[in-house]
């Protein structure tokens, strides 16, 4: 079986690549390295079943060539981050919306069996109802969320009009080793952990009572492969089904990363940030998704990785 992973040098994509190779797939990774890193692929570069192509999903000609004889496409490539999209909405649109259209066209033209699209819980916006259920009316609050929703609609239309099987996985706050804490738009967990290890307080935007559903990266990998290999199509939440406050998250990180003398620092809330988030994962259970990692266990894995790399 041949699998394409767009954004395969990124945080999530690199884990998908490793797992597919373990399961006997031939893997082709496409990444322009704007946010991905070759160091994420150090365990598989040189493997006879892995190929790396430096290129962009904005290049339709390249995709049409690379997707030849592919069984599945795991479409992870994106310009992530709500703040980044607010700063530069056009760049987010070109990569996340137009780029996804290119992926779908190339997959259709090559007879790909299925495209697995990495969507986002941000499409729900700030609707107060919890947990978030897939048939809720979307209410995106940022350009990033709009691009993900537009891409979902493209997936739905390509299945209906062209018969290309698609599945859209709405990720809820994915975390794990390899997330880059050095980026201006880094996710909260690597930021908190790197701060505490360096003896600095974790910084929370807002009062810290906002809640999130954090999902360990290896659970997300399992969801991707189950989603590809099953008959499931449509939209599915991929979360842990448990929510925690950002204050509690910071306290856990302080405990695990050895910063017990540190106090949390608070800053003004940021525009576009959602207050509360929690996934209903009942629908994804129908194709076999069951998260295995508890938050404290996953955080310990990330802390261990930070200690190894410093």
Catalytic residues: 144
Report which of 54, 35, 278 is spatially closest to residue 178, judged by C-alpha positions. 35
Instruction: Report the relative pairing of strands 215-216 and 265-267 from DSSP bridges.
Output: unpaired
In this structure, how many other beta carbons lie within 10 angstroms of the beta carbon of residue 290?
12
Q: Half-sphere exposure of residue 144, counting CA atoms within 13 Å on the CB side?
A: 22
Tokens of 252: 């856990």
Q: Phi/psi at 203 (nearest 5 deg)? A: -105, 125
Q: Half-sphere exposure of residue 82, counting CA atoms within 13 Å on the CB side?
A: 17
Pair 6, 33: CB distance under 8 Å = no
């Amino acid at each position: 079986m041949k699998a394409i992973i767009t954004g395969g040098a990124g945080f999530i994509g690199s884990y998908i690549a490793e797992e597919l190779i373990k399961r006997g797939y031939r893997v082709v990774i496409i990444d322009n390295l704007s946010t991905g890193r070759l160091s994420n692929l150090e365990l598989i570069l040189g493997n006879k079943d892995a190929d790396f192509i430096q290129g962009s999903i904005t290049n339709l000609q390249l995709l049409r060539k690379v997707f030849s004889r592919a069984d599945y496409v795991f479409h992870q490539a994106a310009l992530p981050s709500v703040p980044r999209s607010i700063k530069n909405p056009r760049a987010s649109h070109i990569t996340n919306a137009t780029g996804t259209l290119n992926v779908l066209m190339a997959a259709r033209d090559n007879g790909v069996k299925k495209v697995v699209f990495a969507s986002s819980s941000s499409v729900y916006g700030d609707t107060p109802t919890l947990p978030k259920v897939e048939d809720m009316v979307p209410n995106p609050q940022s350009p990033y969320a709009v691009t993900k929703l537009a891409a979902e609609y493209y997936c739905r239309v390509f299945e209906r009009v062209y018969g290309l099987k698609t599945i859209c996985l709405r990720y809820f706050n994915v975390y794990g080793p390899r997330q880059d804490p050095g980026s201006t738009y880094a996710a909260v967990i690597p930021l908190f952990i790197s701060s505490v290890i360096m003896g600095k307080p974790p910084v929370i935007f807002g009062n810290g009572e906002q809640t999130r559903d954090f999902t360990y990266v290896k659970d997300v990998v399992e969801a991707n492969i189950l989603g590809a290999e099953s008959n499931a199509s449509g939209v599915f939440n991929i979360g842990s089904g448990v929510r925690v406050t950002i204050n509690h998250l910071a306290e856990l990180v302080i405990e695990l990363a050895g910063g017990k003398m540190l106090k949390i620092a608070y800053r003004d809330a940021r525009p576009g940030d959602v207050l509360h988030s929690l996934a209903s994962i009942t629908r994804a259970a129908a194709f076999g998704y069951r998260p295995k990692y508890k938050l404290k266990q996953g955080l310990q894995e990330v802390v261990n990785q930070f200690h190894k790399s410093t």
